[in-house]
Amino acid sequence: MKNYAKPGEVLYHVGLSVEMLQGAKYALVPGDPGRVEGLAKAVDPDAVYLACHREFTSWLARVNGEPVLVISSGMGGPCITFIVEELGRLGVTTFIRVGTTGSLQEDLNLGDVVISKACVRMDGAGRAYAPIEYPAVADLDVTIALRDAAKELKVPFGLGIGVTTDSFWPGQERYDSLNGYVVQRLRGTLKEWQALGCTNFEMEAATLFTLCSVHGLRAGAICGVVAKRTDSEAVAPPDVYKMAEKRFQAVAKRALEKLIAVDKT
Ligand SMILES: O=P(O)(O)O[C@H]1O[C@H](CO)[C@@H](O)[C@H]1O
Ligand SMILES: O=c1cc[nH]c(=O)[nH]1
């Protein structure tokens, strides 16, 4: 039996109650709190601010009349566990991560979007929920909605297996860290993920997928490419981010419309 929140109960970390969510079953989840308002208004110009607790800034939007929560997760696996645990208790059943990423394949360019059908579990938080042999897979319907939306909007996209890490620097084999050092265990991993056909590095999707599968919830992920790791370790300038942001906002909105329509049938 699920441990749902009681009426009037404001959950400790996200600062939200069932009443504030107005029945929202869908959540769009960017990492960055600064991205929430823009995403909420792109989805619904009349979206309203809800709360700001720790890294969790939240707004409520409507898509075809259906309430949709837009809430930041903060960075990394541990942070996104709070989103699944507390929003799950508030009745959210579908989570779409809307983030940024570093691409691993030559044909995934800066500003493109990448949809994850599964992720390699290089995170730590997910291990508290399921042994490492358990796969981090996205929900099929959510993934298809994201793919079809990207196709329809003619947004350049890739779809594949991402790699979720706990560390932006050595975990993603970056040598431009404070001490420039990557532990032996992680040297050569960039090439290996590329050889295995993985699409991208980011830091939350595997944890989200693992927790959602374990809890019987749905999850998907779409990320804009802000670093092209076949070329360099650097993060691209803001104009690239802006282009990616417009694209992932549009795809997320269209995917939600599709998903909501399918769910109603
Ligand atoms: O842009 P967001 O959603 O935060 O996602 C990516 O950006 C952060 C690192 O720069 C990590 O959280 C990573 O997953
Ligand atoms: O290279 C990148 C870019 C964004 N987010 C990541 O986790 N890695």
Q: Tell me: the pLDDT tens digits for 158-190?
A: 999 999 999 999 999 999 999 999 999 999 999
Q: 134 CB under 6 A from ligand 1? A: no
Residues forming the active site: 13, 86, 174, 229
- In a domain, residue 44? The reply is yes
Q: Which ligand is nearest to the CA of 204?
A: 1
Does residue 44 carry a pLDDT above 90? yes
Question: By residue range, what is the domain housing residue 193?
Answer: 18-264
- In a domain, residue 191? The reply is yes
pLDDT at residue 217 in the model = 98
Q: Tell me: the pLDDT tens digits for 107-117?
A: 999 999 999 99
* Strand runs labelled E in the chain: 26-29, 48-53, 56-63, 66-71, 94-103, 113-122, 136-137, 157-165, 200-202, 218-228
75 Cα: distance to centroid of ligand 1 (angstroms) = 6
- In a domain, residue 211? The reply is yes
- In a domain, residue 99? The reply is yes
What's the pLDDT band for 2 if we cut at 50, 70, 90? confident
DSSP string, 19-38: HHHTT--EEEE-S-GGGHHH
Q: Which residues of 123-152 are buried (b: 16+ CB within 10 A; e: fewer)?
A: bebbeebeeeeeebbbbeebbbbbbebbee
- In a domain, residue 13? The reply is no
- The mean pLDDT value of the chain amounts to 98
Q: Which atom of ligand 1 is nearest to the CA of 203?
A: 14
3-state secondary structure of 165: strand
- In a domain, residue 9? The reply is no
CATH code of 214's domain: 3.40.50.1580
Q: Tell me: the pLDDT tens digits for 125-139?
A: 999 999 999 999 999
- In a domain, residue 54? The reply is yes
Does residue 1 carry a pLDDT above 80? no
Extract the tokens encoding 138.
Answer: 């996205």
Q: Which atom of ligand 1 is nearest to the CA of 97?
A: 3
Contacts of 120 (CB under 8 A, 6+ apart): 136, 161, 162, 163, 164, 193, 198, 206
Instruction: Count up the domains in the chain and report the number.
Output: 1
- In a domain, residue 204? The reply is yes
Q: Tell me: the pLDDT tens digits for 16-31?
A: 999 999 999 999 999 9
221 Cα: distance to centroid of ligand 1 (angstroms) = 12
pTM to 2 decimals? Answer: 0.98
Residue 195 one-letter amino acid:
A
Pocket of ligand 2 (CB under 6 A): 100-102, 168, 172, 201-203, 226-227, 235
Residues 90, 68, 76, 191, Cα dihedral to 10°: 130
